[in-house]
Every structure is written in C-alpha cells, then in structure tokens.
Structure 1
Amino acid sequence: MLRNNSGSSKSNKDSNSYNSKKIFLPIFIGVGVIVWLFVSEFEVESFKEISFTGQSILFILLGFFFIFGRDFGLIWRFKAMTDHQISWHQAFHIHVLSEFTSAVTPSAIGGSGLVVLFLNKEGISAAKSTTIMIANLLLDELFFILICPIIFLVLPIQDVFNSTSIISSTIETVFWVVYSIICLWATFLFVILFFKPDWISGIVGFLFKIPFLRRWRDQIGTFSSQLTYASADFRNKSIRFWLIAFGATVLTWSSRFLVVNALFMAFSNVGNHLVIFARQILLWVVMVASPTPGGSGLSEYAFKEYYNDISLGVGPILVITIIWRIISYYLYLFFGAIVIPRWLKKSFGKAK
C-alpha cells in the first residue's frame, strides 16, 4: 500500500509540475506581446473610444457561443469517427485534452499525435485511433484547401491580405508556402488512410527497433493487421458518414472564425464582415508556421497588424485582440489544467 501511494503521489506531483511549466510559457509569451503592444501604442484618446455597452456584452457572449459551437463540432466529430463507441463525456475529455496539447506545443507540431493516446485510453484500439487521427487531420486540411480558393473568388486579393499592413507581404508569402504544404500533406494523408496503411506500419516498425522500444515489437504485427482492417473500414464508409464528418468540420472551423466577427460587432458597426472572416482563415493558415506554443505572441501581434485598416482605433483593436485570445486560446489552457490531472489519474493511476 505504501509503495502504491508513494507512486501515485509522485505521479500527481510530476503531472502538476508538467502542467504548470507547459501552461506558463505560452501565457508568458502571449501576455508579454500584449503588454508590449499596449506600451508602444498607448494613446489615452484611443482608449477613451472604448465603451462596454449592453450591445458589447451581448456580442462578446455571442463570441463565447461560437467557440462553444466549435467545441460541439469537434466533440460530435470524435463520436461520429468512433462509430459512437464513446460517450459524449468521453468525447469531451478527448477534445479538451487535444486542445490543451495543441495550445502548449508549436503550431507546426500541434497536439494531433496525442489524440491516438487519448482515444486508446477511452477504449478505442490503437490502430483505429491512428486512422481516426489521420482522418480528422485530412478533414481539417480539406476544409482549408476548399475554402481558400472560394475566398479569392469572392473577394479582391488586396482586401484579403490587407495591402496597407506592414506585414501584408510577409503574410502573403508565408500563406502561399504553407497552403502548398497543406495540399501536399493532405494528399499524403489521403493515400496512407485509404490505400497505403502499410506505410504507417513500416514507420512504426522502424521506430520500435529503437532499443528501449524493442520489448513491444511483438505487438507490431497485430497493430499492422488491425490498421489494415481499420483503413478498409474507413474506405467502405458511406457518403452519409463522410458528409456528417465534414459537416462537423465545417461547423468547427466556421464557428471558430466567427468569434472575431462577433467581437468586432461588439465595438463597431464595421461593414464588411466577409473580409474579417476571410482574414481569420488566412491568418490561421499562416500561424501553422509559428514556432511558439499555440502561436502565442505571433498571433497577438499579427492579429493587431492584420486588422489595422479597420477604423476602430488602437484601443478597441487591442481589446478585441485580448478577448479573442482569451476565448480561443487561454480558455483551453484553463480547462486543460483542470481535466488533465484527473484524466491522468484515471487512465494511469491503476497501473501504479
């Protein structure tokens, strides 16, 4: 008993330490950039323009509603992709855990890889968890691949990239590079999901030749056969299944980007909300290249610069930037800090 309690105590201590370190870095970077923006561009008259009216509060609440719509879309997709083998409660935990890991890792890395672990700990086989992760990634990339050309068809390119911003040329260059990579990445995901699951097995088999992983090599054969079966299962899914999954994906991303529209409506009667929405999509694509955890720091600065042509003044734009990051980023750090210790105790505590 003493040994088990000691192990459990050590596990809790380590997980708490891990959470504190992982949460502190992105918060420090993000808050630091916001403070720098305030200090460098502080003008009393600009901040006098800010007024929190009943309308402001209503649209800020609408922003929260949109982010919860995004959460629902992701949770719904997890249930659909597992053929409803997990409960809504389990899907919620998986969602919060994956969002937290995405928030504390560089955007280019993300937390998608750990979704396999989260799903597996909720009773989904490792092979099926792997195919679900790949399918979700493919659906996300497909959304951006399809929506970006539509944006350029309906809006002038100079409006989308904000030609008045000092970073517009940089954003445009990075966008086209990242968009090209996304197209190639989506093609690769499509091939390994539906036609070449053995490529994944080969990569996993190679990794398990590493000395400290060799003791699990005997299980690779089982994993490979299950992966082939899971791939065939996805390949034979109905059109209705994929329409539901992609519908949840569209709901997820659209809701996320509509948060910014709601926040602009809270402080102004700005007209072209389609431009605001489109810029969010392009900014998100660009932030994929961010080396900082969750794009912290760069997101705050790029957001403020990217929308500087909208006649709100410095004060309102900075306030919108802060609220936007709280709703779409720091909220998940908070929820993750609550959920992760309990999930670790439930998932790994019995093994101690």
Structure 2
Amino acid sequence: MSSEPQNTGRPQTFFSKKYLFISIALSILTMAGVIYYTYTPGVLHHLKPKRLPGLGIALVVSLLRVWFLAAKIRFLSEKKLDWMASTRVVLAWDFTSAVTPSTIGGAPMATYAMTKEGLKLGDAGAIILYGVLLDQLWFAMAIPILLFAGIFYEVVPAEIGLVGDVSMGLLYVGLLSYASVLAYGVLVNPAAIKKIVKVVFKLPLLRRMSDKIEVEAENLEQYAEQLRRKPLSFLLKAFFLSTMSWLCRIALPTIVVLSLLPAPEILSVLRSLAMNLAFLVVPTPGGSGGVEGLFVLFQGPLITREGFIGLAVFVWRIISYYISIGLGMMATTWYVNQKVVEIQAQD
C-alpha cells in the first residue's frame, strides 16, 4: 500500500467555527432553560459535603475514558503510535465529534491526525473501521441487556410516551442491523461492504458521487481484508478496551447524580446506557441541546429534588463536554502548528 495518497488536508477543514458556535450556544441555552424552570431558591443548602467528592471521581472517570480510548488506538495501531500520539488523536477526535453533526462525526479528523502521527492513510482507515466495528459490537451487546432489564425496571421513562417508546425501538433495530452488516462485512466477507456501498450510491440523490465512492469502496474492502486476518485474541482485547471506555461514559451521569443526592443506582445506570444510545441520533453539532434534554428525561425523574436537575445537567456537561472541548482544542492546535511547520519547511 505504498502508493496510498497522503491526507493533505488542513486540520481546520474537519470542523467548522460555525458548528462550534452552534454547539456551545445550544448547550448553554438548553442548560439555562433547564436551570430556569427547575431552580428552587435555597436548593444549594441541601448539598451534602460528604457526597461532593463524587464529582472528583466523575472527573477521574472522564479522564479514564480518554485513557482507554487512547489505549485502544495504540493497540489497533500495533503500537506504531506512542501514548502521547494516541492521546492527541483521541482528544482531536472527541473535539471534532463534539462540534460537528452526528452525520459527520470525528472520524475524518481522527484519520488526518493519525497520518500526521506517521501512519499511512490505509492503516488509519483500517483503525477507524475497526473502531466503528467495536462500537457497533458494544451496542449489539448493550441492547439485549436493556431489553432484559426492561422486564424488571422502567428503563425507558414513562414520561417520553408512546412516541418515545417507538423511537427507542426503531433505534435498537437500526443499531442491531448496522452492527450485523458491519460485522459480517469486516469479519466474514469484506467484499460485501463494497457491494452494499455501491448499491446505496446508485440511489438518485447519491448517484453523482458514485465514481468517487467506487475508489473508496475498493480501499474499504482492502482495509476490511486486513482486519479479517487478525486473530480472535486481537478482537477480544480491542473489544475490552472499547467496552471499558463505554462503561466510563455510561457511569458518568450516574456518578454526577449520586454526588448530589441519593438515587436508585441500578436504574440510573440502565437509563444512562439507554440515553447514550439515544444520543447517537441527535442531529445537532455534538448533540448539543438534545443530549441535555435527554439527560433531563432519563435522569430527571430519579432526582428527588427538582432544583438539583439543572445543577446535575450543568456539572455533567462541564465534565463530559466542555473539558473535552478545551483539551481537544489544544490537541487540534498542535496539529495546526505541525501543518504550519511543514509548510515553512517546504518553503
């Protein structure tokens, strides 16, 4: 694969300042609305100092999530990336995901970052593809857990009504279908991915991009073939690292809620899992506006003091979103500076 083209784009092309502004603005406005409608005078007097160290635990868990993701990237690169490089890739990926619509995501930026860290474009593409597969396998495992738990717990809040129940059902079906197709294509029959991509891009609205997609589909088949030859032990270890990063993400809302006041722990975790799946289809940049609303719908009924709902949303987003944006901007700035150094060296 020595003839692969290098990813010569600029880091700024993978995210938009407009999307960054929209993402932050939607998040702030939604949190302000939640706080306005749920705030109760004197609510902070009910905070228990013995619970507040839990917020420190939440921060540690958030950092652990980044560490597990970096470990996964490093492992998938077969240690061609060192720890610092893997961490930069994850932070840049997180940042771009947080400020772009879910249909775009952070994969293009992650691919660019890995090429700037010394990987070939094909190797970076294979890592992205395998990472997506691992996430889909996790979703495929999580959905039966939620369905079984639903027999004993009200995992999907009654407040979301019939429309919400149907939407969650369709989401489960969609995720399982996608996971099945991707797993079959990567692990069993890589040629199937190419065929599916070609069929999809024969649709009228997508036909004009069919020539470009033809080339990308060929590359995708090659990447999938590389991954299919990996031993089962490779898949299991990578899946473990991916699972641990997801468990950190799932645990975070529950830890934040329990840092403020008592709540049913198991139900909170199950609802956190369900709402994280629902986050996947929020169309706004980084899910802003929608994820705060979903937090209120899923976790709000478990918070006995209404005045704490806005506080919980605020703290959770600071730890899970705003810190990620800050760290991610630092990582992305590093790649911008690297690009400037390359241009100056060429001159």
Q: TM-score range by the shorter chain?
A: 0.7 to 0.9
Counterparts of 1:322 and 1:173, CA distance in 2: 29
8 Å CA contact retained: 1:98, 1:114: yes
Q: 1:324 aligns with which of 311, 316, 330?
A: 316
- The number of aligned residues is 325
Post-superposition offset of 1:157: 6.3
Q: Which letter maps to 1:301?
A: G
The residue type equivalent to 1:266 in the other structure is: S
Matched, 1:25 2:17: no
Q: Which residue of 2 aligns with 1:310?
A: 302
Equivalent residue, structure 2, for 1:87: 82
The corresponding residue for 1:7 is none
Cα deviation, residue 156, structure 1: 3.1
Determine whether 1:236 maps to 2:229.
Answer: yes
Q: Mind listing any 5+ residue stretches in structure 1 that lack a counterpart?
A: 1-10
Unpaired runs of at least 5, structure 2: 1-8, 202-207
The equivalent residue for 1:3 is none
Q: Partner of 1:297 in structure 2?
A: 289
| Distance in 2, Cα, partners of 1:77 & 1:171 | 34
Change in Cα spacing, 1:311 to 1:181, as seen in structure 2 (3 Å) is: closer
Q: Structure 1 168/144 Cα, relative in aligned 2: closer, same or farther at 3 Å?
A: farther
Hey, what does 2:68 align to over in structure 1?
Answer: 73
* RMSD value, Cα: 3.0
2:93 to 98, 113, 117: 98
After TM superposition, the score normalised by the length of structure 1 is: 0.82
1:31 aligned partner, one-letter code: I
Aligned to 2:145: 150
SS at match of 1:56: coil
State how far apart, in whole Å, the 2-side matches of 1:60 and 1:38 are.
19
Partner of 2:33: 36
Q: Is 1:338 paired with 2:330?
A: yes
TM-score by length of 2: 0.83
Aligned to 1:57: 52
In structure 2, the CA distance between the partners of 1:159 and 1:351, relative to structure 1 (3 Å rule), is: same
CA distance in 1, matches of 2:165, 2:282: 15
SS in structure 1 at match of 2:301 = coil
Amino acid at match of 1:339: A
Corresponding residue number in structure 2 for 1:178: 171
Please give the alpha-carbon distance, in whole angstroms, between the structure 1 residues aligned to 2:303 and 2:272: 18
The answer to whether the Cα contact below 8 Å between 1:74 and 1:95 also exists between their aligned partners in 2 is: yes
Identity %: 19
